[in-house]
Structure 1
C-alpha cells in the first residue's frame, strides 16, 4: 500500500519502520532538515517547539526506546543530544532516511470520495504540490500550536514568552518573572529561571502529582514500573471497570487462576534469588560513584541537583496530597510531573508558588486572588498546547479529542486508513513505545491482516469513559493515559504479540520477570508479527535489577489476595528517604 507518514520525529520514525516491515511503499514528509522532530535543533528554530539547552529526559533511555531497538546500557537518563543520537542510530540501522523528504511542510490532508488521500506539501520556497496516497499517518505530535490565549493576563505590558521558544535562562537574568503553569519541562525552566531572576513566582491552578526521577538516591524511578503494580492500582481493586482486554482479563476464573499461579511463582522466586545474590554477589551495571543521571552519588539525590533529604521528600508528599484535594491517592487521578528539581528553590525561597489564581493585570502589575500584587518584567507561559488537527481539511475528530479515536489513533470512519500516531501521553512512561505499538497496529491494518473491531464505536466510548474517570482531576489533558502498561498490553492482544498465559505457565522465571519486575517493552517482540524471541527474552532475563525490592513484591502479592472491599484505596502514595 502507498502510505504517507507526516513527521520524522520518534513517532514518525517508528511508523516508517513498522510499515516497511509490512513491505508498504512509504513516503514521509518532514519540515526539518534531518530526523528527530522536537529533538532536532537545526536551522532557525527560535519560534518552533524544540528541546531546550539543558533538557534531560524524565524517564530513562530504556523506557524511551523502541522494542525493536532497545537501549542496552541500563536505565540511565540522557540529555536531548543523547536521545537525538539514539533516533539517528535507529534511522541508520533500518535505512529510514531514504524514505523521508526533508524541508517539506505538509499544509493539508484531504480525504477523497474514492477513499484515497491527497497530501499537499510545500517544499522550501516552491509552490505547493499534491500527492495521492492510500493511507496516511499523522505523526507530527501535539506540540504544534502553543496555548497563549490566557485571558487573565490580557493587558500585560511586559514581555510574554511561551515555553516552546525557551532555550535557556539568559534572557531572564535579573528580571522579575511570573511563570504560569507547571509541567515536566516547566519544572526545569522554573529551576533555571529562578536561579538567575531577581524574583520568580509561579501561578498554578492545580498541583500535578510529583515523582522524582531517582529512587533510593541512584536508580531510575521507572525501575518500579511493574505490571503487578499497574494492574493492582488501576484494575483489580477498582470500582472503575477496566475496558481493555489484556493480561488475564477474559473472565473472573481465569483472572484468579492467573494470580494464583504468578503469585506462587513470585513467592518461590524470593528465596531462590536471595540465595543467588548471597552466593554470586550483586552485579553492578553503574559507576558506584554516579547515579543514573550521571551526577555524583554523594550526597544522595532524588533528582537533578535535588538532595535526598527529609525536608524535600516531606514537601513532595504534602504537594501530592494537595494534588488530590487532601484525599488519599493510592491510584492517582491526575497527570504526573516526573521532575521535582524545582522543589529546592521553593524551599530556599528563590521560587514562590501561588495557587490562588490571577485576578487581573494592570500594565506590569499582576493582582492575585489572595489580595496580593506584584510587578513583573516578563511572563513565561508553561501552559501547553492547543488541540490542533487543522491539517485534516474535511475529516473531523470529534471534539478535537483523541479519546474519540480507537486507541487514541484510529478514526472509526476510515477503515484504519487514517492514524494519529503519538497523540497519547502515559502519565508514567514514554511516548515512543506507545507510538510504536500504534504504528504496528496501523501497518497490519494497511496489510489487511487485521481489521478494526466491528464494535469499534462502543469500545471507543467504554475506553474513553474509563480514561476520563481515572483522569478526572486533569480533564483538559485528553491525550493522557492512566496506565501505559495496560494500554500497550491491550494493543498487543489485538495485533498478536501478547505472549499467552498458557505458554508462560511453563516458564516461571519469565512470568515472574514480566509481572513483578521492571516493565520492559521487549516483551512485545517475543511472539507475533516481526518477533525476535531469543533476543527479546535475553533482554528481559538479563536486565540488571539492582533495586529489586522483595518487600515491594510481597506487598503486591499480599494485595492481590486481599478482597477489593478491604483494599487500601485511600492510602497516600508517598516517597520515603532511603540512602
Structure 2
C-alpha cells in the first residue's frame, strides 16, 4: 500500500541561486550522503559560505549500490526499515507512488531529486577525499583534501562531519578459535545473491542486514545456517495492514511509552523460539529494533537453520556453543561497524568502542566549530534528525542561535548520554541510540531557547 503524500506538498523549487554572505563563518561539510546533503541544503539556504567534499562521484552515501567511494554497504535487496513518510525530509516528501518501504535505488533517486530541487549541487566537490582535519593556532580548522587537482589545504571556521558510521567493519574480537578453510566476508562487502549461490553459508548476527542476507541465502545457497549469539525481538514491517511505524508519539512522553509501543509490536510478531532461536534475554524495547517480513517464513519452510553463537571454527564446519555444527564454505559476519573518523587525530577525537558522547549528538563541547551529523542510531530514521541538526548548525553559524553556558552544555551531554545508555542493553551498537520523536522534540525546544538567547525573535 503506497502512502498518499502528494508532490504538491513539497516546498517550491529553488530556481535562482541563493546569495552567499561572505561575512558569515566559512564551513566545510565532509560527505554527501543523506546527512551531508541535509546539512548542505540548510547552509545553502542560510547563505553560509561552505564547501562539501564527497569521496565518490555520487550523492547518497550508503544508499548508492556499488558506490564508487567504496564505503557503501548497500546490497541488491536492500530497502528501508523506516517507512517513507517517517524517513523523508520535512519539506520534501518521497513520491506518492513509492511503496511503504522504498528500495535503495528509489532512496538514491530521492536524494538526487532533493539536491536538484533545492539547487545546491554546485556546492559539492566530488571524487575528493578529506585526508586531514586539524586545529589552527587561532582556533580555526585546517582541512587537507585530495582530488583530481591534487592535494590542497583550506582553512574553515567550522567543520561538519557527515562521513557516516556504517562503513568501518567490525569483525569479532577476539577472533573465534580454530581454523576455517572457506571464505569469510563482512556484511559490508556483501552485494547480491550471486556471492551465495551454491554455497554452504553461515550468517552471523541478529541485525537487519544479517536477516536480509540470511533470507537471500535461503533462496540461493546449498545450505543456510543463521548463527545468533544474542537474540533480538524481530518486529514485522506491517501491523494491521499498514507500516508498523506510522504511530508517531509526542516527543515529550517518557521513554517507557515508546518501550510499550515496541513491546506491543514484538509480542504481536512473536518470538522465534519455535524455530530454534533462543528467547531474547532483554525485554522488548531494550535494544535497537530489528524488522523482517520474511525470516519467519524461511525458518518455517526449513530453508534456514537457526543456531546459537559460535564456539569454534573447524575446517569446513562451524561448531556452535550447543555442540551442534554446520557445513560451511562461506561465513558472512554481520557484526556491525566502528565509529571512525580517519581524518581526525585521536588526540582530538577518540570514539573508542563507539562510546562518543556529544551534546545533542551534534556538538563537541571541547572543540568549537566541530559538528557531527547523523551520528545516531535512532528508533526511526536518520534523515529527519540530520535535517534538524543541519538547521541548528546553520543557526549557530548565522548568529540566530546562542548556546547556553558551557557547564550546562556538558551537564546535559553527560546526563543524556547516560540516560540513553541505560535504556538499552550494553553494546557498541547502543552507544548512539536515541528515540526519534523525543530527540526531535528536545532539539526543537533547545533551538527555540537558543534563538531567544540570541534575541533574534525567530
Classify the TM-score, shorter chain.
Answer: 0.7 to 0.9
Separation (CA, whole Å) in 1 of partners of 2:433 and 2:163: 17
State the shift of 1:48 in Å.
3.4
Output one character per residue of 1:128-186: Cα deviation in whole Å (capped at 9) or x when no partner. 22111110001011012111345116632211111112111112122111111121122
Query: What are the ranges of 5 or more consecutive residues in structure 1 without an aligned counterpart?
Result: 239-301, 303-309, 499-527, 530-579
Counterpart secondary structure, 1:404: coil
Q: Do structure 1's residue 411 and structure 2's residue 364 form an aligned pair?
A: yes
- Select the structure that is richer in helix: 1
Counterpart secondary structure, 2:224: strand
Alignment of 1:281-300 (within 5 A): none
State the shift of 1:398 in Å.
5.7
Q: Do structure 1's residue 80 and structure 2's residue 104 form an aligned pair?
A: yes
Alignment of 1:365-514 (within 5 A): 365-393=317-345, 394-397=347-350, 399=352, 401=354, 403-415=356-368, 417-427=369-379, 429-454=380-405, 455-472=408-425, 474=427, 476-481=429-434, 483-496=435-448
> Structure 1's 363 and 130: CA in aligned 2 closer, same or farther, altered over 3 A?
same
Separation (CA, whole Å) in 1 of partners of 2:82 and 2:53: 28
Q: Do structure 1's residue 185 and structure 2's residue 209 form an aligned pair?
A: yes
> Structure 1's 192 and 237: CA in aligned 2 closer, same or farther, altered over 3 A?
closer
| 2:64 equivalent in structure 1 | 40
Structure with the greater alpha carbon radius of gyration: 1
Q: Do structure 1's residue 67 and structure 2's residue 90 form an aligned pair?
A: yes
Separation (CA, whole Å) in 1 of partners of 2:136 and 2:353: 21
> Structure 1's 492 and 317: CA in aligned 2 closer, same or farther, altered over 3 A?
farther
Counterpart secondary structure, 1:63: helix
Separation (CA, whole Å) in 1 of partners of 2:351 and 2:66: 35
> Structure 1's 139 and 340: CA in aligned 2 closer, same or farther, altered over 3 A?
same
| 2:246 equivalent in structure 1 | 223
Kept in 1, the 8 Å contact 2:31–2:162? The answer is: yes
Counterpart secondary structure, 1:490: helix
Separation (CA, whole Å) in 2 of partners of 1:314 and 1:92: 44
> Structure 1's 67 and 189: CA in aligned 2 closer, same or farther, altered over 3 A?
same
Output one character per residue of 1:266-305: Cα deviation in whole Å (capped at 9) or x when no partner. xxxxxxxxxxxxxxxxxxxxxxxxxxxxxxxxxxxx9xxx
State the shift of 1:448 in Å.
2.6
State TM-score, norm by structure 1: 0.67
- Select the structure that is richer in strand: 2
Separation (CA, whole Å) in 1 of partners of 2:33 and 2:425: 30
Separation (CA, whole Å) in 1 of partners of 2:218 and 2:387: 37
State the shift of 1:374 in Å.
2.5
Counterpart secondary structure, 1:106: strand
Kept in 2, the 8 Å contact 1:404–1:464? The answer is: yes
> Structure 1's 168 and 105: CA in aligned 2 closer, same or farther, altered over 3 A?
same
Larger mean CA deviation between 472-481 and 453-462 belongs to 472-481
State the shift of 1:378 in Å.
0.3
Separation (CA, whole Å) in 2 of partners of 1:76 and 1:177: 31
Kept in 2, the 8 Å contact 1:210–1:340? The answer is: no
Kept in 1, the 8 Å contact 2:140–2:158? The answer is: yes
Kept in 2, the 8 Å contact 1:59–1:338? The answer is: no
Kept in 1, the 8 Å contact 2:286–2:423? The answer is: yes
Counterpart secondary structure, 2:420: helix
Kept in 1, the 8 Å contact 2:66–2:74? The answer is: no
Counterpart secondary structure, 1:155: strand
Separation (CA, whole Å) in 2 of partners of 1:73 and 1:488: 24
Kept in 2, the 8 Å contact 1:180–1:379? The answer is: yes
| 1:543 equivalent in structure 2 | none
State TM-score, norm by structure 2: 0.84
| 1:234 equivalent in structure 2 | 256
State the shift of 1:364 in Å.
2.4
Q: Using CA pairs under 8 Å that are at least 6 residues apart, name the structure with larger relative contact order, 1 or 2.
A: 1
* Superposition RMSD in Å: 3.0
State the shift of 1:77 in Å.
2.0
Aligned with residue 337 of structure 1, among 276, 280, 290: 290
Aligned with residue 36 of structure 2, among 12, 25, 29: 12
| 1:166 equivalent in structure 2 | 190
Separation (CA, whole Å) in 1 of partners of 2:120 and 2:449: 23
| 1:350 equivalent in structure 2 | 303
State the shift of 1:368 in Å.
1.4
Output one character per residue of 1:89-134: Cα deviation in whole Å (capped at 9) or x when no partner. 110011121000000011111111211111111114x532211111
Separation (CA, whole Å) in 2 of partners of 1:437 and 1:495: 10
Separation (CA, whole Å) in 2 of partners of 1:475 and 1:148: 12
Counterpart secondary structure, 1:231: coil
| 1:105 equivalent in structure 2 | 129
Aligned with residue 362 of structure 1, among 278, 298, 314: 314
Kept in 1, the 8 Å contact 2:86–2:246? The answer is: no
Output one character per residue of 1:496-526: Cα deviation in whole Å (capped at 9) or x when no partner. 299xxxxxxxxxxxxxxxxxxxxxxxxxxxx
Larger mean CA deviation between 66-75 and 370-379 belongs to 66-75
> Structure 1's 365 and 402: CA in aligned 2 closer, same or farther, altered over 3 A?
closer
Counterpart secondary structure, 1:453: coil
Kept in 2, the 8 Å contact 1:32–1:103? The answer is: yes
